[in-house]
Amino acid sequence: MEAIHSGISAPPREPSANRVPSASGLEGVVAAETRLGEVDGERGRLVIAGHDVERLAGEIAFEDVVALLGGSTVGDPIIHRAIAEGRVLAFARLGGLGDALDRPDGMDALRAATAHLDESFATPERLAGAVAVFAAAWARGRAGKAPIAPDPSLSHAADYLRMIDGEAPSAARAFALDTYLVTVSDHGMNASTFAARVVTSTGSDMVSAVVAAIGTLKGPLHGGAPGPVLDMLDAIGTPEAAAAWIEGELLAGRRIMGMGHRIYRVRDPRAAVLELATQRLGRSGVRTGRLDLTRAVERAAEGALRAKYPARPLRANVEFYTAVLLDAIGLDRTAFSPTFAVGRTAGWCAHAVEQRAVGKLIRPDSRYIGPMPA
Ligand code: COA
């Protein structure tokens, strides 16, 4: 990517001051000190590796966020090469994965395939390469096609799309995917990152941490929402139909996918980044026809949720515009959550490295509410 870089460097080594979000359900409990990122739910600010997400997304490549999270610098050729090498090495393992990639669900497939990796893959770069290769091979297999070997001369984002489509993507599509991968690369102590840190804290290995994280990301309350967001947009069809449809869902007691967040009390800053990325992709000639509908549905959902929960702000989260951006890039909705994992592997691995250095077991307490023996 061009135009990157001025002033973007690795984060300071000192641990940041930790704020504990009041709605976390674990008030007063700080699960970890981290220098990797900060999520400010009241102000809607996301800092990754010492930089605001708006400053990184669309400015640096996915490889660079892996570098920054690992304490290196933007454009570090060693990191770029190591991720490309990870793709090549992972592709060579495809024959030994048994039926792992035959699972109908992409996240099941990703979890099963990643579980086959040995410790030679236990670095952030190799795992980043492997998860992308497995996600792409699964998407190919689902379409009844053979996997395509990686091209290490391409960027991670461009090669991921090429391994799915069979041809190199336009610069605009690759740029949009890079923007997405950077945007979702890390996000504080989210559930899957927490899972990765818990696994690492036991002294277990990085592959196991990523396997646990993939299983955690799969859930619809975490990374499983963007496919259902697109289903919702399809079901609504036109901006005029949005309000009545949303009303019907709430009356039926169902949640609106892509709305609400455990930490953010304002609009998720990543929603704005991805909305802008979709707009930008549209300007390059790619069809982004769902953007108007998406905005109308967001407005309707926000209004209806405000009326139903006046005391609890429920605004668009990252998944809302993930759906419309990844759809415009040309990915099938079944590949949305695996693509989220491709990006978040950067954060999972960085947290695993950080947790390993802490060297302490994470072992939260529980409050017993059952009967006591007589
Ligand atoms: N649609 C409708 N109602 C919602 C809602 C949504 N998207 N999100 C929260 N609510 C409601 C809950 O039903 C609950 O109401 P109740 O008190 O009457 O039961 C109230 O708001 C508080 O919800 P709660 O589940 O306690 O909040 P949370 O912080 O645990 O939830 C999410 C955070 C993300 C799990 C939740 O907002 C959600 O399920 N969103 C939809 C799924 C999604 O987009 N996931 C991706 C997250 S990045």
Write the single-letter amino acid at 127: L
pLDDT of residue 226: 86
Nearest atom, ligand 1, residue 309 CA = 21
Per-residue confidence band for 2, with pLDDT thresholds at 50, 70 and 90:
very low
182 and 250 housed in the same domain: no
Enter the pTM of the model. Answer: 0.92
* 211-245: pLDDT as tens digits: 999 999 999 899 888 889 999 999 999 999 999 99
pLDDT in tens, 245-300: 999 999 999 999 999 999 999 999 999 999 999 999 999 998 887 899 999 999 99
pLDDT digits (tens, 9 = 90+) for 100-152: 999 999 999 999 999 999 999 999 999 999 999 999 999 999 999 999 999 99
Q: In the predicted model, is pLDDT for residue 13 greater than 70?
A: no
- Known catalytic residue: 302? no
Could you tell me the pLDDT band of residue 347, with boundaries at 50, 70 and 90? very high
Q: How far is the CA of 255 from the centre of ligand 1 (A)?
A: 7
Nearest CA to ligand 1 atom 44: 258
The pLDDT value recorded for residue 22 is 44
Atom of ligand 1 nearest to the CA of 317: 48
Of the candidates 117, 102, 147, the residue with the CA atom closest to the CA atom of residue 211:
117
Question: Is residue 195 located within the same domain as residue 269?
Answer: no
* Known catalytic residue at 187: no
Query: In a mutational test of the pocket of ligand 1, which residue from 309, 319, 320, 321 has the highest number of ligand atoms less than 8 Å from its CB?
Result: 309
- Whose Cα sits closest to atom 40 in ligand 1? 260
> Domain span at residue 259?
226-329
Residue 21 domain-assigned? no
307 three-class SS: helix
- 151-192, pLDDT tens digit by residue? 999 999 999 999 999 999 999 999 999 999 999 999 999 999
Q: Does 147 fall in a domain?
A: yes
In a domain, 367, yes or no: no
CATH number, domain with residue 122 = 1.10.580.10
Q: What's the mean pLDDT when you consider all of the chain?
A: 92
Band of residue 4 on the pLDDT scale cut at 50, 70, 90: very low
Residues 340 and 313 reside in one and the same domain:
no
Q: Is residue 26 part of a domain?
A: no
Tell the residue nearest (CA) to atom 25 of ligand 1.
262
Rounded Cα gap, residues 180 and 191, in angstroms: 20
Statement to judge: residues 106 and 152 lie in one domain: yes
- Beta carbon of 258 within 6 Å of any ligand 1 atom: yes
Contact call for residues 40 and 261 (beta carbons, < 8 A): no
Asked whether residue 122 falls in the same domain as residue 145, the answer is yes
**Looking at the structure, do residues 128 and 262 belong to the same domain, yes or no?**
no
- 3 in any annotated domain: no
236 shares its domain with 320: yes
Whether residues 322 and 349 share a domain: the answer is: no
* 31 occurs within a structural domain: no
CA neighbor of 50 nearest in space, from 95, 13, 5, 76: 13
* Amino acid 26: pLDDT: 52
Q: Is the pLDDT of residue 86 over 90?
A: yes
The answer to whether residues 263 and 202 belong to one domain is no
Mark whether 75 and 205 lie in a shared domain. Answer: yes
Of 57, 50, 70, the closest CA to residue 8 belongs to 50
Please tell me the distance between residue 258's alpha carbon and the centre of ligand 1 in angstroms. Answer: 10
Q: pLDDT band at residue 9, thresholds of 50, 70 and 90?
A: low
Q: Report the nearest-CA residue for atom 34 of ligand 1.
A: 261
Q: How far is the CA of 364 from the centre of ligand 1 (A)?
A: 24
Is the pLDDT reported for residue 28 higher than 70?
A: no
Residue 370 lies in a domain: no
Cβ neighbours, 10 Å, residue 321:
29
CATH number where 246 lies: 1.10.230.10
Residues 49 and 198 in one domain: yes
Q: Is residue 28 part of a domain?
A: no
Q: Are residues 233 and 299 in the same domain?
A: yes
Q: What is the number of structural domains in the chain?
A: 2
